[in-house]
Structures are given as C-alpha cells and as structure tokens.
C-alpha cells in the first residue's frame, strides 16, 4: 500500500547513500568522491552521494516493482489517472510515446496547426498521417487561441475514419480547449483523445483554472511537471487511462526513454508530487490570486493590455500575457529592455506580447517588482503589427511525416513549389503556427503569403530567406 505522504524514490536514495556501501559501479564520480569542485558546488555533497541509479533498491524505470512503481501509483491517484509513467527525457518523449503507443502506419490522427515539433516526431515514429486542424486566432492580441468544438465536429464528419484527436491544451499562452465537450464528441466517434498538456500540470489543484485533461475524459495526457510545479527541468509525467492499450504505451515509453535515468530527476518528480499532495491547492490557488492582482495592475499602466477573458475557451490565469503594442514596441524589444536594463526575464516574447508565468514560488513582493518594471518601459515608434491570415481549412497531408522523412528530397525556388509536397516545416514567429508541415501539399495562396511575410522570423526552414524550399522529389 503506497504511503500517501511520503516520497518513495527519495527515501530509497537516502537509504542507499547512508548504507555504507563501497561503490564499484556507475557513476564514475563514485558518490561524489571524484567530482570536480564545481560539480560539488553545483549539486552539493549530499546530492552527489545520492546520484546513483540501477541498484536493486532504487528500482528500474523500465520495469518498476518497488519505489518507482509506488511513486508512479501515488502520482496517478493525485492527477486522476489510472496509471502514470515518469519521464526524464522531457515531455517531448512523452508526447512521442502517446502517438507511437496508440497509432500505426496508415492511421489518421487530427492535430492542431500549433502542434509542438514532438508531434511530428511521434508521427514519423508511428507512421500515422495527420489531419491538420485550424486554430482560432485573437487578432487584437495577435496570438493563437485553440481548436474550437465546432472545428472538431466538422473534422469528425469529414474524416470519420480517424483513429485519434491530439490537442495542445492549454497552449503556451494558457488558452484551453473545451475538453469536456470535445471528449464526448471524440469518444462518441470511436476515437482516442490525446492531450499535450505540457503547460497544465497544475490545473487539477485549483477550481478557478481550466479542467485538467484527465478530469475532462482524455485517454492520455503528457505533462511537463517542471514547467509550473517543483521538479527539475526535463522531468515530466504521462497520465494514462485504461481506455488505451496500457502495455503498448508503456512499451513505447520504454523505447523512447534512456536506459540510464538520473535518479535525482526521478526523485524530483516524486517530491513535486508530495509537495502538491501536501498543500497543492493552497499554493496553486494563491498563484491564481497573484495573477489576478497582476492583471489588475497592468490594466492601470498606459499603453499596456493584459490578455484576459477568451470567448469559447478557458484561460489559465497563471499565464499572464501583456500586449505592448500601445507603447509602440514589439514584444522582442520590450523583452530586451526588461532583461538588460531592469533585470526582469519573461517566459517568451512575440511581435506584440510578453508572457509571464506566475507560479506557487511567487509572492506579492515579486509581483510588485514586476509591475514597477513594466511601468518603466519606454515608448517606441513601431506601428501596430499585422498578423498573417491563417487558413480555416481542415486538410489531410498528402504523405505521412514518416514517408516524407524517408523520401528523396530536392530544393526548388519557392515560386516553383506550388503543387509539390513540402519536406520541412515552415513557421513564422509570430504567430508560431506552421504554415506548412512535412508531407503537406503546397498551395498557391500559401506561397503568396510566405512571399508577403518574409520579414518575419522563420523557424524550421533550411533557407531562412525562403527564396527556396525543400520538397519531396516527386509530383502529386
């Protein structure tokens, strides 16, 4: 029986390190004895003593039987899942596992236009073919919202043979899809609902936040525990419902994870769960209240706007988006000023906005300092940024990302690429939503849009000038 208020992995590590064992095993620093002084300062002597793994007492992430199994069981119960898998390769691997573990070559899966690159990697591994779903867009704040219920309804009618729907909810800006309604639609159609919940590990701990994926009825959800909660960077959890083939998902996870997981990373997941078990509701709800106060103060600052209510979508209040267009600045310019002159670092900036993450680690004094820094932002001379128009079309890829990955490719002038199959991802920042995905047929209107918006920052393309583009060496 798992002990609710304990950290089984951390306890096993403490026991092993204090047992007086003479180590003739990895890691090479031998419980810190051979570590360089910089590493000792970084991890502390106690941290290095406990930085061991693969001993029988410390369990095996790939076949957990003792402390890791117990810790994962405790996490599953807390996050309303049937089972949980700990990940030390980041949510990138967890997202790949939910696709690789549920789909096979030839299967169709619906994905949003703003899917993380890990989704494309998962499709390459599984061989599944994507159906691209349009994402609603907020013109005033120049940022992506999420996939609407109506879009899901249209997509299911158009592609009833699809096996799954994958959504990013909440997205980077905290905008969450209506997962309860979508879950009912998807399951009624006999499909799986898979959620990239990288930015939502905290949702289950405060009723004022959007409902979590597991509570909304999702089959699988990948969470970045480190993003908002208290585990170490690159640690994540995969939440599983028994509506999927659990053993196949576990096999996929095992294939994607290192065989030498760092025990400190695993212990940090265990301890983050314990922290939320003890007083997660108090801590996360306090962060929500701080976020409300921050938004109220931002609205008093001339030239700034705070992203707030979103029609037809829920918003994670702890993601505070500040629009700086009223100051005549771009988000990137404002970020540089804050970092260089005012010693404040935001989570991200785009052409129009700054994003600040408010967590349980923040307090009123820190919020006050942020507000004072925002008041000192100067005025610029930039005109309002005009975002590119985004397609509302639901479309099927011509080739699966796996077929595209293994196909011979060539580089052609952008103007001569119409009708060819794109072999790379073309994304403008902002808004960060790919205009072209690998395996997608290149339309004339997309080429026209790329030509018009070349001044924006380009991600994914080999040729950053977009004079040329990589395509599959065949015609459709």
Taking only the tens of pLDDT, the chain with its 476 residues reads 345 568 999 999 888 888 888 888 788 888 888 888 898 888 898 888 898 877 888 999 999 999 999 999 999 999 999 999 999 999 999 999 999 999 999 999 999 988 888 999 999 999 999 999 999 999 889 888 999 999 999 999 999 999 999 999 999 999 999 999 999 999 999 999 999 999 999 999 999 999 999 999 999 999 999 999 999 999 999 999 999 999 999 999 999 999 999 999 999 999 999 999 999 999 999 999 999 999 999 999 999 999 998 889 999 999 999 999 999 999 989 999 999 999 999 999 988 999 999 999 999 999 999 999 999 999 998 877 666 566 678 999 999 999 999 999 999 999 999 999 999 988 876 556 678 889 999 988 888 888 876 656 777 788 888 899 999 997 65
pLDDT number for residue 389: 60
pTM, rounded to two decimals: 0.92
pLDDT number for residue 388: 58
According to CATH, the topology of domain 61-277 is 3.40.640
Q: How far apart are CA 139 and CA 384, in angstroms?
A: 11
Question: What is the signed CA dihedral for 56, 60, 65, 67, rounded to 10 degrees?
Answer: 80
According to CATH, the topology of domain 397-475 is Ornithine Decarboxylase; Chain A, domain 4 (3.90.100)
Domain ranges of the chain: 1-58, 61-277, 278-375, 397-475
Cis peptide before 330 (omega within 30 of 0): no
Check residue 404 and give left, alpha or beta (phi > 0: left; psi -120 to 50: alpha).
alpha
Q: How far apart are CA 36 and CA 134, in angstroms?
A: 51
pLDDT number for residue 27: 83
Q: What is the CATH number of domain 278-375?
A: 3.90.1150.10
Q: How far apart are CA 445 and CA 168, in angstroms?
A: 26
Closest CA to 242 of 203, 273, 214: 214
Cis peptide before 27 (omega within 30 of 0): yes
């Amino acid at each position: 029986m798992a002990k609710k208020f304990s950290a089984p992995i951390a306890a096993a590590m403490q026991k092993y390190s204090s047992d007086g064992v003479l180590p003739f095993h990895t890691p090479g620093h031998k419980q810190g004895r051979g570590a360089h002084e910089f590493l000792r300062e970084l991890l502390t002597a106690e941290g290095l003593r406990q930085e061991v793994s693969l001993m029988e007492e410390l369990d095996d992430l790939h076949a957990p039987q003792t402390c890791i199994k117990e810790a994962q069981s405790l996490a599953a119960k807390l996050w309303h899942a049937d089972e949980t898998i700990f990940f030390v390769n980041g949510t990138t691997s967890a997202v790949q596992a939910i696709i690789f573990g549920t789909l096979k070559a030839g299967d169709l899966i619906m994905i949003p236009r703003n899917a993380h690159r890990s989704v494309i990697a998962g499709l390459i591994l599984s061989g599944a073919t994507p159906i691209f779903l349009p994402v609603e867009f907020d013109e005033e704040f120049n940022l992506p919202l999420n996939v609407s219920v109506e879009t899901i309804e249209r997509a299911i009618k158009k592609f009833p043979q699809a096996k799954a729907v994958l959504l990013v909810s909440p997205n980077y800006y905290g905008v969450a899809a209506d997962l309860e309604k979508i879950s009912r639609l998807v399951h009624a159609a006999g499909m799986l609902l898979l959620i990239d919940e990288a930015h939502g590990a905290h949702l289950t701990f405060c009723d004022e936040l959007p409902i979590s994926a597991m509570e909304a009825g999702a089959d699988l959800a990948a969470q970045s525990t480190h993003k908002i909660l208290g585990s170490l960077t690159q640690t994540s959890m995969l939440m599983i419902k028994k509506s999927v083939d659990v053993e196949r998902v576990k096999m996929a996870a095992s294939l994607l994870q290192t065989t030498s997981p760092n025990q400190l990373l695993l212990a940090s997941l265990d301890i983050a769960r314990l922290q939320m078990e003890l007083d997660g509701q108090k801590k996360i709800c306090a962060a929500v209240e701080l976020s409300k106060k921050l938004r109220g103060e931002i609205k008093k600052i001339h030239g700034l706007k705070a992203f707030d209510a979103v029609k037809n979508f829920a918003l994670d209040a702890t993601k505070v988006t500040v629009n700086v267009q009223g100051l005549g600045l771009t988000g990137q310019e404002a970020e540089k000023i804050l970092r260089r002159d005012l010693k404040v670092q935001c989570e991200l900036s785009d052409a129009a906005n700054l994003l600040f993450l408010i967590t349980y680690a923040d307090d009123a004094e820190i919020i006050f300092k942020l507000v004072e820094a925002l008041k000192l932002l100067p005025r610029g001379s930039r005109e309002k940024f005009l975002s590119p128009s985004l397609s509302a079309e639901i479309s099927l890829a011509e080739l699966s990302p796996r077929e595209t990955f293994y196909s011979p490719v060539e580089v052609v002038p952008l103007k001569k690429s119409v009708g060819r199959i794109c072999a790379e991802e073309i994304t403008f920042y902002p808004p960060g939503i790919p205009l072209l995905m690998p395996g997608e047929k290149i339309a004339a209107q997309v080429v026209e849009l790329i030509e018009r918006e070349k001044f924006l920052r380009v991600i994914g393309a080999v040729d950053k000038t977009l004079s040329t583009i990589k395509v599959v060496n065949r015609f459709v």
